[in-house]
Amino acid sequence: MNATLTRRLREHIPLLVTALLLVTMFSVGSVSYEGFFSGQVLLNLLIDNAFLLVVAVGMTFVILAGGIDLSVGAVVALSTMVSASLVEHHHWPIFAVVPLVLAIGAAAGWVMGWVIHTFEIQPFIVTLAGMFLARGLCYTISVESISITDSSYTTMAQARIPLPGGMFVSPSAVIALLVVAAAFVLLHHTRLGRNVHALGGSEQSALLMGLPVARTKIGVYAVSGFCSALGGVLLTFYMLSGYGLHAVGLELDAIAAVVIGGTLLTGGTGYVLGTVLGVLVLGLIQTVISFQGTLSSWWTRIVIGALLFVFIVLQRLIALRRRS
């Protein structure tokens, strides 16, 4: 019993460290800066990073299955461009644009997953090609930013859902939380989730157990594509524009959030709630730097890089300890 408890605690060390880091950063910020200790500050982290949270949830599926998806940022940008072009240039209604964009994202992910599995090509190469393709398609639509003035989009962008204490949250944040809840159920309480974990642990073992490896591998990339497209929809609401340079580097932020949240880069072990904490940590870093006022925004990248290095080393130490 004690051995089992010790093993489970050891597996959850990265998640506990992330939670402790989030609490420590918020406490230090509350002591250092006036107005930092506020429920609305935490809600603003969710509001400002709703699109990143959705993309990171999709990335969690892929990394848990032992893969990687470098195309997510480009798919987000393509989603904003398709949305803006259809709404502004062709006057499509929002209820027609959004399903089409989501279908495009899911189809793009499905195709990349099919290529990865069928031709046994490294996910890094296939999704890198997908990234270049999606970015290129953005510029076939327009090389300039397309501003959105449609009333449906502006209403979504400006909408606020009131909460007790004078606080509020955006519809995009609520959508992001619903995605998190759905992903939590799928990964931790369904056969699909068990298959994803098994595939990430060992593809060969999953095959020997008779698990649907092909369907699972292709499926996680389809989920990632869908989440990227949905993240693009939320970013469109947030920015009220489509642009081929939106979300540059977002794939690295998503990977960082997933790893900082305790998901092993090698796959097999991870937590959706850890990804939420990882996104909040990244958002809190930006918030602290903005409150500080004198530091360059590039310090955000420096701190994220340092944290990512620390968590990768921590994962490696835990893996070595588990083998011994």
Of the two residues 229 and 30, the one the predictor is more confident about is: 229
Tell me the one-letter amino acid at 182: A
- pLDDT, mean of residues 293-320: 79
Supply the pLDDT for residue 10. 66
Distances (CA, A) of 3 to 9, 13, 15, 221: 10, 15, 20, 36
Q: Report how far residue 225's alpha carbon sits from residue 131's, in angstroms, rounded to the nearest whole number.
A: 11
- Lowest-confidence pick of 35-39, 146-150, 180-184: 35-39
Q: At what angle do helices 171-189 and 50-64 cross, to 10 degrees?
A: 20
Q: Report how far residue 81's alpha carbon sits from residue 292's, in angstroms, rounded to the nearest whole number.
A: 34
Strand partners, 161: 169
* pLDDT tens digits for range 34-64: 888 888 998 999 999 999 999 999 999 999 9
Supply the pLDDT for residue 102. 98
Q: Report how far residue 110's alpha carbon sits from residue 97's, in angstroms, rounded to the nearest whole number.
A: 20
Per-residue pLDDT for 295 more than 90? Answer: no
pTM over 0.75: yes
Domains of the chain: 12-323 (1.10.3470)
Q: What mean pLDDT value characterizes the chain?
A: 91
All residues at 6 or more sequence positions from 257 whose CB lies less than 8 Å from its CB, including other chains: 52, 53, 56, 59, 275, 278, 279, 281, 282
